Structures are given as C-alpha cells and as structure tokens.
Amino acid sequence: MSGTEEYDRDGLMRLVDRLPEAEIHAAARYLEFLSKRGDAFARHLADAPEESDELAPEGERLLEEGLADVVAGRVLGLDEVKRELDL
C-alpha cells in the first residue's frame, strides 16, 4: 500500500507487521495517542449542547449592525481589502 491508500484494520495490522523493530515503540505511542484523542473527541461531541437555529441576542445585534453597514455603504470590496492588506 502506498501513502495515499485507505487502510482498514487488517491493512493496518499488516503495516504494523512490516515496521522495523526500532519503530515499534514510537508507533505504539502514536496509536495510543490517537485512540485517546478519539475518545476525548467522542466525549466532547456527546456533551455538546444541541444546536439551535435561533441567534443569541448578541448575535442578532451584530447581524443587524452588519446589515445596516451594508445598506449605508460602509463596506469594502474584495479589491479594496486586498489593497489595504497589501495582498
């Protein structure tokens, strides 16, 4: 398998079997890191509050300010922003 191919568990096990002995410790530490990170991420998602389509009052206020700026012409075009930022 090349570096761009997808691995399933069996393919990963074959890859581990081909590792040089000197790299086993580093691979084990990295796999342990990935497994713990995945657990933490899953817990984070499970604990996250449900999303709402409603804006918080601060978000509503900022949206109204932004729309008022657009209506009043207090906005810059992309080319103007690029010039100001020297891009």
The whole-number pLDDT of residue 69 equals: 92
pTM metric for this prediction: 0.40
Cβ contact 85:77 at 8 Å: no
In percent, the amount of the chain with pLDDT more than 90 equals 46
Residue 6 has pLDDT above 60, yes or no: yes
For the segment 16-43, the average pLDDT, to the nearest whole number, is: 86
Task: Quote the CA–CA distance of 28 and 21 in Å, as a whole number.
Answer: 12
- The domain spans of the chain are 9-47
The whole-number pLDDT of residue 4 equals: 60
Task: State the DSSP string of 25-69.
Answer: HHHHHHHHHHHHHHHHHHHHHHHSPPP-SSPPHHHHHHHHHHHHH
The per-residue pLDDT for range 32-53, each reduced to its tens digit, is 888 877 777 777 777 777 777 7
The per-residue pLDDT for range 52-63, each reduced to its tens digit, is 778 889 999 999
